[in-house]
Structure 1
């Protein structure tokens, strides 16, 4: 009987891509943080606000300080070591130059231009010190000077203007060419290298900052445009309500005028004072109608013939439901037929029109954002209020890309209509998906004096 030996368990195999995936996630998080703080890259010249100081996350705001400290901690001992052993510089002088050349990098987070003045003077002093030694090492700029200067150029390019950056680069060019002319024959000339690297760093950083500034202005403009569109939609809806109310109020004013004009002929033995009063009422009503027509001429756009059609009401609701069902929206309409017909006379024309428009806007939102969703419309009445509830379930099909980005402007008009008649409205998503619109409109107009 043979037996098989199971090899010892060596544990899970190492994931060769684990570290790489973690590094990619960290890099993506840093890039997202930098994008979110793009406005801070466009800080005005002379400001003491830190780089990335407007970032929403604290670790992103601290990132420039951490980077500067890392370079300082690395460059100071390396600079001292290289100057003392490779160039033969005194230890005290090497330490002073190392601190002066690298410590201002921390200042560059908030004040890059003052930091540059300190660093350029320290770098020139360090270059003169290395030129005084007979060495085949790089001259006039040491590798540590080049690295620190590149970091400083990054901070400058993200803060200063183009003119300032050009002046900084020209100073770098002049200092490099002048000091490079004194380099020893056997040394490695690094003046051209610093000129090229500093120019490229300043240029790329300036382009990145200007791109971020343009993006920030674009976001601000889009925000302003969206606010203007919302305000324009609100004003258009109010103008539309005013035009519709003209048809409602004008009917009652016309009735008042006719009754006031005919009262002296219908009622016998009226005193003269009463006849004058009726005449005054008729004249005031006609004057009010004239003023309303003038205002309507301003609100109504020319050629809007459709707006002169009779305004719809709850009696047109079945036709609206039928049209929506033909568009592919299954709708169930529930309403107390007899009670609705009995109390319909108590509903003011403004409430009747507003109720129709609320249901119409709710169904339009269903067609735009939840195509194919099952929808239920419920109307109910009590002694004081007309209750409207429009509920739709989750969407059966993905919305059209042109319709998926809603702005909520339809809800703005809905709230305006409810506020007009003194009612209340509650809108919002449902826990299991879908949307709810619930409105309560008074059957009789509320007394304005009690508000």
Structure 2
């Protein structure tokens, strides 16, 4: 067998002993009940004060060590176990070194003094340490730990057969059993976690499928109800001048405006229905309205009886062309604000203004109190979905939105949109 073939895996095993798990959480940190999470701490707190005096007494009384070295070695073997709940691999290094030192200083003791190289108290503490190590470290690290235990124990027994008894074989078997049991329990826990993750993914997929089905249903209902009525409005507005004789030119122009607005709304609704049915949120290839279309939007609102004025500062031209998302958001904010005026304050005088300063575009829509005698299209308050949509658009652009009633009556919508993308410095 090639020497390099053997050296590579051994090198990896040695490295695994120097790289503890980055997980610093205590053992059983994911346990559902508090008493299970506290169990490792309780065992460590009980075990250390119990093993420490026993180990000192055994080393001094049975193995003939002086009090000072026996106390130091016992402390090195037991006290670090308190940290095994969080850092078992570094603790293993300390306990292993202390165990080897204890075996070396007790080698000269008589065979009748006690088991060697594993006194009973030392073996119990070591097995507890391996039980804390197994659920935390990788399988390669656990194999390296067991091999070190095997080689050290068997090597000591082979070198000093007159001193070793049946303890070396028992220690190796128990250490392997504890590590194997802990590794199996950890594998079972990981399998359960992966299963839970897959169930969560499946639940999310089911929720997404339900959402797509609901979107399809909404699209079908919108098409069956709204599209039908919009088509009827378009046909009636187009045919009104031919069906009703003697209409004045103003009425003919009004019907033509209604038909044009209905066609535009119908086309936009069909585009949205296509997005709902596709179940995709990809980029829309159709032309989107923007700042350049605000004039036509204001004229459309004026035809509905709202005296609206549009004011665009000369500094806005320096920012053109605006980013697509900002351009569309400005149009939608103004569109929703004017629609709210038509619904809730018919006939109110409205001012739409655009200004810019320090790379920030300011959009303001202010309407006066509604004229007396005007009947709102919707009840006061409405659903508030329009304002929610405005806030969402402004938030996505890292801007600010201020809305609210005015002291003298009326309403104000003011949005500040950074023209540069978030994180960049405004020109």
TM-score, structure 2 normalization: 0.56
Shift of 1:297: 5.5
Alignment partner, residue 197 of structure 1:
174
Among 32, 39, 62, which residue is 2:38 paired with? 62
Q: 1:96 to 1:294 in 2, by over 3 A?
A: closer
Number of corresponding residues = 266
Shift of 1:447: 6.7
Alignment partner, residue 96 of structure 1:
72
Instruction: Give the Cα separation in 2 of the matches to 1:300 and 1:57.
Output: 47
Alignment partner, residue 167 of structure 1:
144
SS of the residue aligned with 2:21? coil
Instruction: Give the Cα separation in 1 of the matches to 2:234 and 2:34.
Output: 71
Deviations 1:214-238, CA, capped at 9 Å, x for gaps: 2123223323432442343234223
Q: 1:188 to 1:97 in 2, by over 3 A?
A: same
Unmatched tracts of structure 1, length 5 or more: 1-43, 302-443
Among 77, 80, 87, which residue is 2:53 paired with? 77
SS of the residue aligned with 2:246? coil
Shift of 1:159: 0.8
Instruction: Give the Cα separation in 2 of the matches to 1:63 and 1:45.
Output: 21
Q: 1:170 to 1:84 in 2, by over 3 A?
A: same
Instruction: Give the Cα separation in 2 of the matches to 1:103 and 1:269.
Output: 106
Shift of 1:283: 4.5
Alignment partner, residue 124 of structure 1:
100
**1:319-358 correspondence to structure 2 within 5 Å:** none
Q: 1:142 to 1:241 in 2, by over 3 A?
A: same
SS of the residue aligned with 2:129? helix
SS of the residue aligned with 1:205? helix
Instruction: Give the Cα separation in 1 of the matches to 2:233 and 2:35.
Output: 72
SS of the residue aligned with 1:149? helix
Instruction: Give the Cα separation in 2 of the matches to 1:238 and 1:123.
Output: 68
Instruction: Give the Cα separation in 2 of the matches to 1:300 and 1:186.
Output: 82
Alignment partner, residue 186 of structure 2:
209
Alignment partner, residue 180 of structure 1:
157
Alignment partner, residue 258 of structure 1:
235
Shift of 1:194: 1.8
**Is the CA contact (8 Å cut-off) linking 2:107 and 2:163 kept in structure 1?**
no
Alignment partner, residue 409 of structure 1:
none
Alignment partner, residue 16 of structure 2:
none
**Is the CA contact (8 Å cut-off) linking 1:101 and 1:119 kept in structure 2?**
yes
**Is the CA contact (8 Å cut-off) linking 1:139 and 1:183 kept in structure 2?**
no
**1:237-316 correspondence to structure 2 within 5 Å:** 237-272=214-249, 274-286=251-263, 288-289=265-266, 292-293=269-270, 295-296=272-273, 299=276
Alignment partner, residue 146 of structure 1:
123
Alignment partner, residue 410 of structure 1:
none
Q: 1:85 to 1:49 in 2, by over 3 A?
A: same
Q: 1:272 to 1:223 in 2, by over 3 A?
A: same
Among 28, 43, 54, which residue is 1:52 paired with? 28
Superposed CA RMSD in Å reads: 2.7
Shift of 1:185: 2.4
Deviations 1:71-126, CA, capped at 9 Å, x for gaps: 21222222222222322222322222222111111110111111111100010011
Instruction: Give the Cα separation in 2 of the matches to 1:86 and 1:139.
Output: 12
**Is the CA contact (8 Å cut-off) linking 2:146 and 2:175 kept in structure 1?**
yes
**Is the CA contact (8 Å cut-off) linking 1:183 and 1:189 kept in structure 2?**
no
Q: 1:298 to 1:53 in 2, by over 3 A?
A: closer
Shift of 1:245: 2.0
Instruction: Give the Cα separation in 2 of the matches to 1:133 and 1:121.
Output: 20
1:133 partnered with 2:109 = yes
Alignment partner, residue 230 of structure 1:
207
Among 180, 196, 199, which residue is 1:219 paired with? 196
